[in-house]
């Protein structure tokens, strides 16, 4: 659990020191690795390699779709020209993820499985459903473009 909290602190440090347009380049390029490292620290003590492999596969799929979401969420996306509102929205979303990660790790450190499970379910619900909605929007936009 200490390793998971260290990963959260590292990600918070990167996020805190990222500013303006270097935000995506500096933070999101490292996010997939940090996110998996965190989740691996949480699940590794289960000593269930098949479960961990399944979760890793889901994490990789999620990371790919997050990158796609970021690239497609703004048709005029240009990493060097993010608006202040886009940067603030992204920072807010990542801060929420990191807060949830910290809460999950702290619940695990207290051996409070029920609380950790509750926070993890909310974490998956929050970010998984957001991703599903964004992918639906992207799919609809792609379908409209192919009809033109």
| pLDDT tens digits, one per residue of 39-58 | 999 999 999 999 999 988 88
Nearest to 73 by CA among 94, 90, 97, 91: 90
pLDDT band for position 33 (cuts 50, 70, 90): confident
pTM for this predicted structure: 0.77
In percent, the amount of the chain with pLDDT more than 90 equals 37
Nearest to 4 by CA among 97, 105, 123: 105
pLDDT of residue 118: 97
Between 47 and 18, whose confidence is greater?
47
Q: What share of the chain is helix, strand, coil (3-state, %, to 5)?
A: 85, 0, 15
* Mean residue pLDDT across the chain: 80
Tokens, residue 15: 């996020």
pLDDT of residue 136: 75
Query: How big is the chain by its Cα radius of gyration, in Å?
Result: 17
What integer is the mean pLDDT of 81-108? Answer: 86
């Amino acid at each position: 659990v200490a390793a998971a909290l260290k990963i959260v602190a590292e990600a918070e440090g990167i996020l805190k020191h990222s500013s303006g347009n270097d935000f995506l380049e500096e933070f999101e390029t490292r996010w997939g690795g940090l996110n998996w490292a965190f989740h691996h620290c949480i699940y590794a003590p289960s000593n269930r390699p098949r479960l961990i492999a399944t979760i890793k596969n889901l994490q990789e799929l999620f990371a790919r779709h997050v990158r796609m979401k970021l690239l497609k969420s703004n048709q005029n996306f240009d990493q060097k020209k993010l608006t202040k509102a886009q940067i603030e929205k992204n920072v807010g979303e990542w801060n929420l993820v990191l807060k949830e990660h910290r809460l999950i790790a702290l619940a695990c450190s207290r051996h409070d499985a029920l609380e950790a499970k509750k926070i993890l379910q909310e974490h998956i619900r929050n970010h998984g459903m957001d991703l599903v909605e964004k992918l639906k929007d992207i799919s609809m936009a792609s379908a409209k473009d192919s009809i033109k």
